[in-house]
Amino acid sequence: MKFGYFDDDNREYVITQPRTPYPWINYLGTGGFFSLISNTGGGYSFFKDARLRRITRNRYNNVPLDDGGKYFYINDGGEIWSPGWKPVKKELDSYSCRHGLGYTKITGRLNQLEAEVLYFVPLDFDGEVIRLKLVNHGETQKVLKIHSLAEWALWDALDDMTNFQRNYSTGEVDIDGSCLYHKTEYRERRNHYAFYSVNAEVSGFDTDREAFLGMYNGFDAPEMVVKGSSNNSVAHGWSPIASHFLEFDLKAGEEKELIFVLGYVENQQEEKFVAPGVINKTKANRMISQFNSSEQVVAALDALKLFWSSLLGNYQVQSGDEKLDRMVNIWNQYQCVITYFFSRSTSYFESGIGRGMGFRDSNQDIIGMVHLAPELARQRIIDLASTQLEDGSAYHQYQPLTKKGNQEVGGNFNDDPLWLILSVSAYIKETGDWTLLSQLAPFNNEGEEFPIFEHIKRSFYHVVNNLGPHKLPLIGRADWNDCLNLNCFSEKPGESFQTTENKKGGIAESVMIAGLFVLYGEEFAKICDHTNKEDEAQQARIHIDEMRQAIDQHGWDGEWFLRAYDFFGNKVGSNENEEGKIFIESQGFCIMAGVGIEDGRAAKALQSVEEKLATPFGIVLLNPAYTTYHLNLGEISTYPPGYKENAGIFCHNNPWIIIAETMLGHADKAFDYYTRITPAYLEEISDLHKTEPYVYSQMIAGKDAATPGQAKNSWLTGTAAWNFYTVSQYILGIRPDYDGLTIVPSIPSSMNELSLTRKYRGNTYHIKMIRKAGGNQQCFVDGQKWDGPLPCEGNGIAYDILITLNQ
């Protein structure tokens, strides 16, 4: 069952029923100010950091779901409703929500009154613009009363939801005409405030939640909305909100627009006040003046659309498969940018409190967006390297506002360092900018700074210096799979599995990190080659060869690659195990590293993946699922069978198998696996899948679950970057390398012709692929036969590329 449709021409997903299986959301913002918005107008806003600079409140896991947002209440002659259906939940004559790139437009209609609400964050603007457009399609005049509502959070989201005894007494607001200010703690320790304005004279306002709602009412029926009035309440210490009350008549056929601005302001310490107790509103007034008219709003929205159109134009495909095209051209790339901004920190499944920016997560996210915004990727690499520790390990997370490592979680996730090599190599391949290697960055954000090359060198040698009894890498608290906790034995409820590393001198080893080391260790060696560090490259390859031998001797189980060795030296992911015999991760990374390709083990492992792990909805992480808690394995065995890491379809690692299949020449199988987890191909089963049909989810319930095919944790997942990397570089085969673009397609046999546009290092490549009977693949550049990487000299050059493929 579908709940909407793709509008590819406008790059929108149009939701036609407000009761979607989950709230289907969008992200607004491209700089410092961000908002999450659901298809009913729910969501929340923050500046840079969803924990430390929360602006509006969100109640996680609330009942009913998705209660709270930037709402509008319309009282049309006593009939009360909301354009997005919620929070009033009055049945509408018509409804639509258009989620676009950086904006959302929600339209409701009742009794011949149409209300359209446009939400977006303009470029280079620390605020959100909300335009409410009302049109009277009837034949008689309407008498309207409008209430807006936004509920302020008290800045630190964790403190906001826990420290009630203090926070029920700290709220401070200011009212200045049609602008309502939130200034809690501004007179003491903060240099920032927020505001919510409207470009019209108001009939009243409310800034106290209890006065607006009434003590025993919810968002669906606030007392002031039902009464059709306002209290002019001032939240002096109490729970602060911002609600404008407007009254006006709307003649038959008349249209009226109201423009609201939700903004964030920082002032220098010496400029906080213009008089004792009077806050400096200069910046707020300037921001409000930028959006006094409809023309200003339209111009800003057009600029935002142009920004996204230009950005996504770096990679476009016309394949004849509309689902593939819309994912590659629009939604997958869009999601890659969103994951760059937020890592795994803030969504409708992540609160923005418990997790900062992940070290491994953010390094991986770069491979999905470096072709779009290399300057942002470069800065992110520097930020990540600065959280690395001197021994080459790293903080597992850092806070985006402070850019400091998260002490609460710490480090010792032993795959983390290697992902820095991935992001650095991806950046150089895309840009040709070798100066990144000489860019200085500190360790642990303090003291002496070292070149980025030194950082990736220490990443490489962190593995070399931390090997176990089988000469395989030590796993630490965990590797990529945070829930495989082989040195963390936990029997205490509520204890963190990852941070309970109580088996000191842990000797558990990871075959996945071994594959990771071979793959990205070789990238480190190539970087050494290109920078004339021959001795470094030679020494690195000695260690890489030794790791290959360790995988050959101790990482092969006969039909597939082992996953690990536990603290006691027992095999994990082996046919010797009763449960968890085969895992997906080591199959993907060992084969991607080239292990077992020449001797047939890779093909055998992929056959085992198809037989034991593949399902109609994707490839499960392991099989058979764990049915009992294994103290020596940790969190992975705590989930019910079929969910998350315990035999769920953890979509992030499916692309590794897809890449492996292309490396063995299995184009049709690779594309088949691609379609099983790609949301546009799942739109018809949205009632089962539940999450948005335009973005990837982290997890889909596996074959052992009660509801196979049901997804969770949408938007913020490494699946976005990895799937774009996979489809763009391995299926479509346009692959950047240190010396230029190479073309190694692995497109399914059903595709006989396709066209691509790829912008690369300032040039534009118009690529056409055509199947022809007989012969080998050939490449022609501007009509001339060409071997090797495509030419990349110059700037602003357009090349016509023809690739002929075997029939």
What are 573's two structure tokens?
């992911």
3-state SS assignment for residue 434? helix
DSSP string, 178-200: TEEEE-TTTTTT-SEEEEEEESS
| Amino acid found at 15 | I
* Alpha carbons 333 and 695: distance in angstroms, whole number: 10
* Alpha carbons 114 and 3: distance in angstroms, whole number: 21
| Token pair 């409310």: residue | 206
Tell me the chain's radius of gyration from C-alpha atoms: 28
CA distances from 510 to 36, 430, 527, 631 (A): 37, 30, 25, 17
3-state SS assignment for residue 230? coil
SS (H, E, C) 666-733: CHHHHHHHHHHHCHHHHHHHHHHHCCCCCCCEEEECCCCCCCCCCEEEECCCCHHHHHHHHHHHHHCC
* Alpha carbons 332 and 316: distance in angstroms, whole number: 12
For the chain, the first-to-last Cα distance in angstroms comes to 37
98 strand-pairing partners: 14, 105
**Helix H or strand E encompassing 249:** strand 240-250
ω into 493 cis (within 30 of 0): no
Contact 710, 699 (CB under 8 A): no
Instruction: State yes or no: is 482 an active-site residue.
Output: yes
| Amino acid found at 518 | V
What are 220's two structure tokens?
């669906």
DSSP string, 253-311: T-EEEEEEEEEEEE--GGGSEEETTEE--HHHHHHHHTTSSHHHHHHHHHHHHHHHHHH
| Token pair 């602008």: residue | 179
ω into 21 cis (within 30 of 0): no
The set of long-range contacts for 573-576, using a CB threshold of 8 Å and a minimum separation of 24, is 573/511, 573/622
Of 192, 209, 124, which is closest to residue 155 (Cα–Cα)?
192
- Catalytic hit among 156, 482, 557, 566: 482
What are 637's two structure tokens?
């065995």
Contact 414, 476 (CB under 8 A): yes
What region does 758 belong to: left with phi over 0, alpha with psi -120 to 50, or beta?
A: beta
| Amino acid found at 541 | R
* Alpha carbons 645 and 515: distance in angstroms, whole number: 20
3-state SS assignment for residue 502? coil
**Helix H or strand E encompassing 239:** none
Of 310, 272, 270, which is closest to residue 191 (Cα–Cα)?
272
* Alpha carbons 761 and 738: distance in angstroms, whole number: 12
Inter-axis angle of helices 511-530 and 585-592, nearest 10: 30
**Helix H or strand E encompassing 596:** none
| Amino acid found at 191 | N
Which residues are designated catalytic?
A: 482
